[in-house]
Chain A
Amino acid sequence: MTSLQDMRPEDVRGECREYYWYYFDGTSRRLLVSDVETRFPTGELIVSQTDVAGNITMCNEAFVHMSGWSREQLMGAPHSILRHPDMPKAAFGDLWTTVDQGTRWSGYVKNLRRDGGFYWVYATVIPKIVDGVVVGHTSVRREPSRDKVEELAAVYVTMLAEEGRA
């Protein structure tokens, strides 16, 4: 997996909190997280594709806009560049277990922007299968119901507590 650079204070908008992600390969990433929400653009879709390693191979303009990164920075970067510390590990565990079985996964996800803010999406991830082999994943994200966002935000707080990350 390509290593992700630490987030920089000069890129962050608003007051922020600091977190560190530790990866399986021993690397870590400094996250700077604010409470500034960017609402999903009504009527649009965020679309991206990754290779089997989870590196971004294609993304549309809405993805670029909402993430805050440039297209050049996103291409080849791990999709986990969007991973917000308020998302429980169990939610992503469910995602990968489902997708690895060759079936689609849908769920509500809080994504991290380059500026430290966040945006909620309703995401669907499906395996990209060529000649019977999974060669990557396609992810389509759309505007979530606000009722569902509130409901899931509370669920994720409980899950984080259970993971000892509250």
Chain B
Amino acid sequence: MTRQFVISPDVNVRNITDWFIFNTKVQRMTGEAFHATVYTDFADLHKAYSEGLADLVFANAADTATLVRDHGYLPIAAPYGVSKEASVVVAADGPLHALADLPAHLTVASTDAPDVERICRILLEPANLGAADLTLQVKPNPVLVAKAVMRDEVQVGFFPQDAYDELSAMVKEQLRVLIASKIYVVRNAFLASPAIAGLIGAIWAGLESMNNDPYSAELLTGLGAPHGWERVSIEDTRFMIDLMDALSQG
């Protein structure tokens, strides 16, 4: 029986090849067949979750909370010392230079990464901007978010920090970070569906051996885990669930 390995669209998709190499490692770790899918759209990803087509998942924090709380997924590991941050970005030559410059209603471009949107909405709260004050345009990827800001189609863009950092120098010259998060505790994690709970020990043993293997260093960097992996406990994920709940604007 082939298991499904699912990678979230907001996870370092520039290095897709590394994820397929990693999938081969997972198959060696577990002795089971895994089919890897790097999703480019959150709607498709969430459909896979609801249809039970996600056994091993590398998920963002918002999806981690949902999968653990509502679907009984179990935590395995997370990149050591790597947190997910986000930025609210404006046009470099535009009139918005500080939060105080923001109007009472704001047009926003964003990908549909739920944790990034949640963090960026929080960043705008000190400017008295709540959920009802934002009109959101969802774009398929960060490059199109950047274009929407540069072309004045929207006033601000929401970016995962790593995706913003990876934009070309020419694009970044036309943008400016208005405010950036420094939260440190939001992160992506590997999760196992209840169907493969018996494989968690083998997967963690394999991940831990990568930490100590100099030949895995390049791959770890490509996967967004330059310092290796650390075990994630149920308690850690409970905290992430509470954090995501607290950050949602109810």
Contact = CB atoms under 8 A, between A and B. Distances in A.
B and A form one assembly: yes
Nearest to B186: A45
B210 interface: no
B247 A140 contact: yes
B250 interface: yes
A128 B238 CA distance: 8
A60 B180 CA distance: 18
Contacts of B239: 49, 58, 138
A61 B179 contact: no
Interface in A121-147: 122, 124-126, 128, 130, 138-140, 142-147
The bracket for how many chain A residues form the interface is 20 to 34
B125 A104 contact: no
Nearest to A125: B246
A145 B245 contact: no
B196 interface: no
Interface stretch (A15-23, A36-44, A86-94): A36-44
Interface residues of B, number: 21
A77 interface: no
B185 A47 contact: yes
B243 A142 contact: no
A43 B123 contact: yes
Given A44-B182, A45-B122, A58-B239, 20 more contacts: A42-B126, A43-B183, A61-B184, A104-B250, A106-B250, A122-B125, A124-B247, A125-B246, A126-B246, A130-B238, A138-B243, A140-B246, A140-B247, A142-B122, A142-B125, A143-B125, A144-B125, A144-B126, A145-B126, A148-B128
Interface of A: 41-45, 47, 49, 58, 60-61, 104, 106, 122, 124-126, 128, 130, 138-140, 142-148
